[in-house]
Chains A and B, each alone.
Chain A
Amino acid sequence: MRIRQFLFIAACAAASRATPLQVGASVTDLASIAKAVGGDRVETFAVCRPDANPHSVEVLPSHMARVARARVYLKVGLGLDGWADAIVRGSRNTRLDVVDCSRRIEVLEKPTGKVDASMGDVHPEGNPHYWLDPENGAVVARTVAEALSKADPDGRAAYEEGLARFEKELGTRRAAWSARLKPFQGRAIFTYHSSWPYFARAFGLRIAGKVEPVPGIPPNARHLADLLATAKSENVKILLQEPYFPREGGEFLHRQAGIAVLALPPSCRGPGASDYLDHFEAIAAALEGAK
């Protein structure tokens, strides 16, 4: 995309009040929640593609250009999207509100005491994959609604209304997901990376092991053998794994113990395609398919 066009649009945005508020986000889930809350008053975009690893993002000129014309930027925080700081810095956008969406989240796996060398690539601030619990989606929506109202005070009523609508829909659909995932309650599963503890807590699954021995490090032979033993003793049949992680470990577990490897992206496709709430639908369907 042409940067000049972006600049042109940015100039137009300043000139006309009817143009929607530009809201950038690190991941599609935050963009989707912002769209749900902001409706037609906002235009959202996400930097990280939904099927890409949000831990590392290759910075493109278009990212800088889009953030340069944004008014609000939604960060995941907790050390996940450090690259967003570089994009924000590089965009030289002085009127941008950068909002850390982890602000009110009750964070899991926050290391207590000193982070020690054996713990792996842990995020010292705790596990950042919080959006995979729908309750946290509601928490984020409130943070987002406040940020939007601050950037665009005229829209406060609309954002409050959008927030209420989102919370209501989330409540209804969450009840349906819980009913669908009832058979999985208490079931032990494996995950590849430590990205699913919030999801597991929300729907009562138990994570019996992770393919990565410590976050960021691929499995060694002994660790895989340990997983096989766990799979047998705890009757593990499912491995949740993001599509961008290496497949060898999962294939080994599939061959040896018949474990079904579900390649699930950690994020929704984005507003318009399949939104934040639809993503839970997709995860539930994948789990049901593997039952």
Chain B
Amino acid sequence: MMVLQLPFLQVALVLCLVLVGIHAYLGYHVVRRGVIFVDLALAQMASLGASVAALAGWTSGPAWRPWACSFGFALGGALLFALFRQRRERYPLEALIGITYAGAVALSMILLEKSATGTEEIKEMLVGSLYTVSWGQVLETAGLYAAVGAVHWFARRRFLLISEDAEEARRRGMKVAPWDFLFYATFALVVTSSVRLAGVLVVFALLVLPATAALSRPAGAGRIPFGWVFGAVGCVLGLESSARWDWPAGPAVILSLLCLLVLVAGWTTLLGRKEG
């Protein structure tokens, strides 16, 4: 396997595995909630925050200021999605996600036209590249995800219950909105950093594909671990094919996840027929 031999592929592989760890898990939640595009909306909110920081001339100052600004905007998006749940009977959440996305894109385009310093950097927020990541960035990201993972470990029952059946959670007397906010806030923290490293497309694929594959398993039969294994195998095969045939890393990983999903779908259909 070439993936294991060459240093830049090793970094990309470890990064992919770190990303799979958190995204296959969070992806399961967003797929169950039917809010898959929430990552695009939050990433775009973060990018809007970065545009505001550029307009304020913060790009040349201390690094935490543009970061805080962009995370602040993503948090704003998280708050919006959490508060909106009450009105969900009338308007689907997907509509709000789409509106947030379009609004954030439009606003940042106008802001960027007024203040174009650092536009390259803002564009880069949405198009990372797996092969140009350093070990330092991988470690930093792994630390951040471990912290987010810990929060989710302590609240795992509540989060799962809300994702699987929010009505039931309410019946049991849970206040859903604060938990939703915590969920979207941690989600925003994860995607704003992962999109910067791997790009919108790869992050989106890592959220949706392993989670969808996991749904082929019956409920309670280790769906999330299945997503992890699925994602890990997809990343290894994707990077291997990128190395072998000189494909760009992101698209290769996505294609390999897609092929695996087709295999899993075929397999479960076959099994279903046999059992039925």
Interface-side segment among B42-50, B173-181, B239-247, B255-263? B239-247
Task: Tell whether, in the assembled complex, residue A62 and residue B246 are in contact, meaning their CB atoms are under 8 Å apart.
Answer: yes
Find residues 129-151 in chain B having any chain A CB closer than 8 Å to their own CB.
129, 131-132, 134
Contacts of B161 in A (CB 8 A): none
Task: Tell whether, in the assembled complex, residue B132 and residue A60 are in contact, meaning their CB atoms are under 8 Å apart.
Answer: no
Task: Tell whether, in the assembled complex, residue A121 and residue B129 are in contact, meaning their CB atoms are under 8 Å apart.
Answer: no
- Is B13 interfacial (CB 8 A cutoff)? no
Number of A-B contacts (CB under 8 A): 81
Task: Tell whether, in the assembled complex, residue A90 and residue B116 are in contact, meaning their CB atoms are under 8 Å apart.
Answer: no
Task: Tell whether, in the assembled complex, residue A61 and residue B119 are in contact, meaning their CB atoms are under 8 Å apart.
Answer: no
A120-B116, A214-B116 as given contacts; A89 in contact with B243, CB under 8 Å: no
CA distance A3 to B134 in the complex (A): 21
- Is A249 interfacial (CB 8 A cutoff)? no
- Is B6 interfacial (CB 8 A cutoff)? yes
Q: Which of B2, B8, B116 contacts A217 (CB 8 A)?
A: B116
- Is B232 interfacial (CB 8 A cutoff)? no
- Is B275 interfacial (CB 8 A cutoff)? no
Task: Tell whether, in the assembled complex, residue A60 and residue B6 are in contact, meaning their CB atoms are under 8 Å apart.
Answer: no
Q: A60-B131, A217-B119 are in contact. List 19 more A-B contacts (CB 8 A).
A: A55-B120, A58-B129, A58-B248, A59-B131, A60-B246, A60-B247, A61-B242, A61-B246, A61-B249, A64-B6, A92-B8, A115-B117, A117-B114, A118-B114, A119-B117, A120-B119, A122-B117, A214-B116, A215-B116
A59-B131, A86-B132, A92-B8 as given contacts; A121 in contact with B117, CB under 8 Å: yes
Task: Tell whether, in the assembled complex, residue B246 and residue A217 are in contact, meaning their CB atoms are under 8 Å apart.
Answer: no
CA distance A65 to B5 in the complex (A): 12
Query: Number of contact residues on A: which range applies?
Result: 20 to 34
A58-B248, A121-B120, A216-B119 as given contacts; A3 in contact with B243, CB under 8 Å: yes
Q: Which of A60, A64, A115 contacts B248 (CB 8 A)?
A: A60
Main SS at interface, chain B: helix
Task: Tell whether, in the assembled complex, residue A220 and residue B116 are in contact, meaning their CB atoms are under 8 Å apart.
Answer: no
Contacts of B129 in A (CB 8 A): 58-59, 86
Task: Tell whether, in the assembled complex, residue B132 and residue A59 are in contact, meaning their CB atoms are under 8 Å apart.
Answer: yes
- Is B62 interfacial (CB 8 A cutoff)? no
CA distance A120 to B120 in the complex (A): 10
Q: Hey, which bits of chain A sit against chain B, CB under 8 A?
A: 1-4, 55, 58-62, 64-65, 83, 86-87, 89-92, 115-122, 213-217, 220
Contacts of A83 in B (CB 8 A): 132
Task: Tell whether, in the assembled complex, residue B116 and residue A89 are in contact, meaning their CB atoms are under 8 Å apart.
Answer: no
- Is B208 interfacial (CB 8 A cutoff)? no
CA distance A87 to B8 in the complex (A): 9
Contacts of A90 in B (CB 8 A): 7-8, 11, 131-132
Contacts of A61 in B (CB 8 A): 6, 8-9, 131, 242-243, 246, 249
CA distance A270 to B246 in the complex (A): 21
CA distance A119 to B119 in the complex (A): 11
Instruction: Tell me the minimal C-beta distance from B118 to chain A in angstroms.
Output: 8
Task: Tell whether, in the assembled complex, residue B115 and residue A118 are in contact, meaning their CB atoms are under 8 Å apart.
Answer: yes
Task: Tell whether, in the assembled complex, residue B134 and residue A89 are in contact, meaning their CB atoms are under 8 Å apart.
Answer: yes
Chain B residue total in the interface (Cβ 8 A): 29
- Count chain A CB atoms within 10 A of each CB in B6, B113, B243, B247 and give the residue with the most: B6
- Is B18 interfacial (CB 8 A cutoff)? no
CA distance A91 to B247 in the complex (A): 17
Instruction: Tell me the minimal C-beta distance from A109 to chain B in angstroms.
Output: 15
CA distance A83 to B60 in the complex (A): 20
CA distance A240 to B131 in the complex (A): 34
A4-B2, A59-B132, A83-B132 as given contacts; A92 in contact with B115, CB under 8 Å: no
A58-B248, A64-B131, A87-B132 as given contacts; A3 in contact with B6, CB under 8 Å: yes
Task: Tell whether, in the assembled complex, residue B113 and residue A217 are in contact, meaning their CB atoms are under 8 Å apart.
Answer: yes
Jot down 10 A-B pairs with beta carbons below 8 A, ordered by A: A60-B247, A61-B243, A65-B6, A92-B8, A115-B60, A117-B115, A119-B116, A121-B119, A217-B116, A220-B113
Contacts of B57 in A (CB 8 A): 117
Instruction: Tell me the minimal C-beta distance from B117 to chain A in angstroms.
Output: 5
Instruction: Tell me the minimal C-beta distance from B115 to chain A in angstroms.
Output: 4
